[in-house]
Chain A
Amino acid sequence: VNATTAPIEAPLPLSGIGSRPSGWWGMILLIATEATLFLLLIASYLYLRNETKGPWPPAPFPDPGIVKPLGVTLLVVVSILPLGWARRRMLVGASGRARLGIALALVLGVAFLVLQWLLVRESLRTVTPRDNAYGSIYYTIIGVHFVHVAAGVLGLGWALLRTPRFTPERHLTLRVISLYWTFVVVISAVVFLTLYLVPRG
């Protein structure tokens, strides 16, 4: 209905087909501000590298390696597949399968949190954020990223709790949390590229 030309008394379309839900907009803006935070974190990393003479990472830090970080990052990245599948199942009303998809993504997210926790604990035995500025920014990026994955995992758990209320038309929680998890996936890849490829470049 074009309210500027059509009479306003025309029947009201209650479905809302011409606009995005408010919750979707809210999540987009949350992601925008969080993405800026990560952009600035990475800019700070590159700034400190640029201002450092000599090897990067500086002693006593060893080469950060690439295989284990790649493995844990892939756990998060592939979780986008079951979650996307869950959303598509929900749209056709297959809520059992949607629940399975969300649960799979949740398991992958939890696996990342556990493995990353163990990896960080191991590396903290030899080098810490107090050793130098490289350690500070490295562990801070790891930590801020970890918190974002953890928040996403809580969100997935929340979506799983609420699946009984979802219908093909009304499941904004799933849509909004999928949006956030997509952001987490993209950020995981960007963090990996920054922390583990920049020292080789």
Chain B
Amino acid sequence: MTLAQLDRLERSWAEPRGLVAALTTVDHKRIGVRYLLTASVFFLLGGVEALVLRLQLAGPNRRLLSPEAYNQLFSMHGITMIFLFVTPMLSGFGNYFVPLQIGARDMAFPRLNAFSYWVFLASGLFIYSSLVLGIAPDAGWFAYAPLSTTSPGLNLDFYGLGLILLAISTTAGAVNFIVTMARLRAPGMSLNRMPLFCWSVLATSLSVVFALPALTLDCLFLELQRKWGFHFFDSAHGGNTLLWQHLFWIFGHPDVYIIFLPAVGIVSTIIPVFSQRPMVARTWSILAIMATAFLGFGVWVHHMFAVGLPQLTMTFFAAASMTIALPAGIQVFAWLATIITGRPVMKTPFLYIVGFIVVFVIGGLSGVMFAVIPFDQQITDSYFVVAHFHYVLFGGAVFPIIAALHYWLPKMSGRLFDERVGRAGFWLIFLGFNLTFFPMHISGLLGMPRRVYTYPAGEGWGLLNLLSTIGAFVLAFGLVVMAANLAWSLVAGAPAGENPWNANTLEWTTSSPPPSYNFPVTPAVRSADPAWDHAAREDDRERLRDGMLVFPDGHETAGTTELGGDLDEVLRMPEGSGWPLALAVSLAVVVTGLIASSNIAAALGIVCCIVALAGWHWRTPEGRAA
């Protein structure tokens, strides 16, 4: 490649600094970092809420929190962690690394990507404004009717409207991921060569497309009933409270996999790298990911075994729930076989993966116990459930997320963290986690119900709760050590180089941090482990010298066929735009108008939405139609 070409490439993709550029950028890496930072702030908020809850429960009859404050805090803790932390955090990794892993220069719809982030931020601020006002949602993260329909104040309206807004963001993000992976893979990356992390994001995004409408509809029904006197969940007027639960869990169980599957992708990314061998049973792993996402739609009633449904229904759903063990088993054995047949490198990211396997298997075992209906009916709504889903969610999602931070931050910053402090952080987190949540199994079996703001002395729960509280602070300290180490690496870490882990995927073949155009030359892929395919990368370098597949003029990236990944066209990508932010702000005006019962403000917001959509698309050139 001539220097003039490189110069043109640099200029085409230059990312100016400054306020206007920050508000209009469509760079998937900047948006990915924003997702990660914003979600981390919500994790901090949700974590502080949890510590306050643990202080309240440290001993019997404590009066740190009023019952009302406790209800708001435990509801916000759940809402924050499920909706505002885990999914956006994984979207952040997806945004940053899916285009890099498939050898693209951006997402398929860069402006939609910016829009998704702004709407996520707006919904997070909207929901949290309720806590500032002291009127946060207080009916738990799944807000069962009739408690949620009859509770006074605006608390639950923040829940309903906030989640509808968030669903727009999540759905737009999912559509973007799917089209990106369908159309923007590097030439030669047929679908079966796509990295496992991308497969997991694909499965997750498909689940989002089909699962989120159930939550949106439920929240629409909730708002129509609360604000305009409709009767969906009101049995005195022909409604049915169970309609809420059905719709909620039709969304809610797939959402468990929406949270868990990207984490599976992270684990399947890190295990082959730190075992220094290709993934064992790669195709089976892909099938397991897709099967889990699909089966997740047929098991929702197992959240409702205690509500009095017909025996036949419950048996069907119990059997369906048990089939999930098949893909899960395939997945775990493929990981173990990869580790056993490889040469494991025990560094911090891998340590977190081992921690994940241990914790998640414990959570999985208590999960299988819930598929047994009589056991479920005995133990539901006790602290045993709290223990179970923290093992699944913290073990299944947070451990992989921390592993991914250690694994990918050197690519994003170009600097390495301190390995010894990294290990110390892991052990503090691992021990703190188990000290917090293992005793909850026992307090649950001893009969302690969940969601109580305090409990009497003399039940034998006091010591167990004290242990949980001590564990929570050890865990928090471990998280601070972990975060401090990563923050320190940003300023003083050793240079990471292109590929510090000798990893196998494309993001490790470009510089750390990657340039704004990701790759100077579009890589041509010939295997499922392209960074280990040195002959193909040498061919890339040769093409770079000849100026082939460089696309130096404008925001351009390779468009390939959906299945085969054959080079099909050069796609001209949009550049920065302020309209996505304008549309997000307009949507925020709509929900704010609705919560303030100002129909004029809401209508004005809708008009602004239409104007923003028109402005967004007016100058877009007409695309090919065939």
Q: Which residues of A contact B569 (CB under 8 A)?
A: 12-16, 19
Contact across chains for B247 and A40 when beta carbons are under 8 A apart: yes
Main secondary structure of the interface of B (DSSP, over half): mixed
A12 to chain B, nearest CB (A): 7
What interface size band does chain A fall in?
Answer: 35 or more
Size of the B side of the interface (Cβ < 8 Å), in residues, is 64
| A170 touching B566, Cβ below 8 Å | no
B228-282 interface (Cβ within 8 A of A): 228-232, 234, 237-240, 243, 246-247, 250
Is the pair B625, A133 in contact by a Cβ cutoff of 8 Å?
no
Does B190 touch A at the CB level, under 8 Å?
yes
Q: Is the CB of B625 within 8 A of A170?
A: yes
B221 close to A (CB within 8 Å) = yes
Cβ-based interface call for A132 (8 A): yes
- Which of B214, B224, B549, B614 meets A8, CB within 8 Å? B549
Q: Is B570 part of the contact surface with A, judged by Cβ < 8 Å?
A: yes
Q: Tell which of B171, B237, B566, B570 touches A133, judged by Cβ atoms closer than 8 Å.
A: B237
With contacts A19-B183, A33-B210, A170-B622 known, is A47 near B240, CB below 8 A? yes
Is B217 within 8 A of A16, CB to CB? no
Which residues in A have their C-beta under 8 angstroms from that of B543? 8-9
Of the candidates A129, A133, A165, the one whose C-beta lies within 8 Å of that of B228 is A129
Stretch at the interface among A22-30, A63-71, A110-118, A119-127: A22-30
A window 147-201: CB within 8 A of B: 154, 158, 162, 165-167, 169-175
Over the window 40-51 of chain A, the binary record of Cβ atoms lying under 8 Å from chain B Cβ atoms (1 yes, 0 no) is 110010011001
CB-CB under 8 A from A23, the residues of chain B are 623
CB–CB A8/B213 < 8 A: no
Q: How far is the CA of A173 from the CA of B188 in the complex (A)?
A: 30
Distance (whole angstroms) from the CB of B202 to the closest CB of chain A: 12
Q: A3-B524, A48-B238 are in contact. Are A13 and B217 (CB under 8 A)?
A: no
Which B-chain residue is minimally distant from A143 (CB atoms)? B224
User: Is B216 located at the chain interface by the 8 A CB criterion?
Assistant: yes
Q: How many A-B residue pairs lie within 8 Å, measured between CB atoms?
A: 185
Quick check: is B626 within 8 A (CB to CB) of the other chain? yes
Among B178, B247, B624, the residue within 8 A (CB) of A170 is B624
B537 within 8 A of A: no
- Say yes or no: A172 contacts B190, CB within 8 Å: no
Report the separation of the CA atoms of residues A18 and B567 in the bound assembly, to the nearest whole angstrom: 9
Q: From A32, A136, A171, give the contact of B625 (CB < 8 A).
A: A171
Whether B187 pairs with A8 at a CB distance below 8 angstroms is yes
A36-B210, A172-B624 given; A47·B230 CB < 8 A = no
Residues from chain B with a CB closer than 8 A to the CB of A44 are 217, 221, 232, 243, 247
- A-side contacts of B526, CB under 8 Å: 4
| Contact between chains at A21 and B625 (CB < 8 Å) | yes
Q: Given known contacts A4-B526, A132-B231, is B190 in contact with A29 (CB within 8 Å)?
A: no
Is B71 an interface residue when CB atoms closer than 8 A count as contact? no
| Closest A residue by C-beta to B622 | A170
- A72 CA to B135 CA, complexed, in Å: 45
In the assembled complex, 18 residue pairs joining A and B whose CB atoms fall closer than 8 Å, in A order, are A1-B566, A4-B188, A9-B543, A9-B548, A12-B567, A19-B183, A19-B561, A19-B568, A37-B217, A40-B247, A44-B243, A47-B246, A129-B228, A130-B228, A133-B230, A169-B625, A170-B622, A170-B624
Q: List A residues at the B interface (Cβ < 8 Å).
A: 1-4, 8-9, 12-23, 25-26, 29-30, 32-34, 36-37, 40-41, 44, 47-48, 51-52, 58, 90-91, 129-137, 140, 154, 158, 162, 165-167, 169-175
The 10 closest A-B pairs by CB, nearest first: A172-B623, A16-B569, A133-B238, A136-B230, A133-B239, A37-B213, A3-B187, A18-B561, A170-B622, A36-B213
Assuming A19-B561, A19-B569, A44-B221, what are 11 further A-B pairs, CB within 8 angstroms? A12-B569, A15-B624, A20-B562, A21-B625, A44-B247, A48-B243, A129-B228, A133-B232, A133-B240, A136-B224, A158-B617
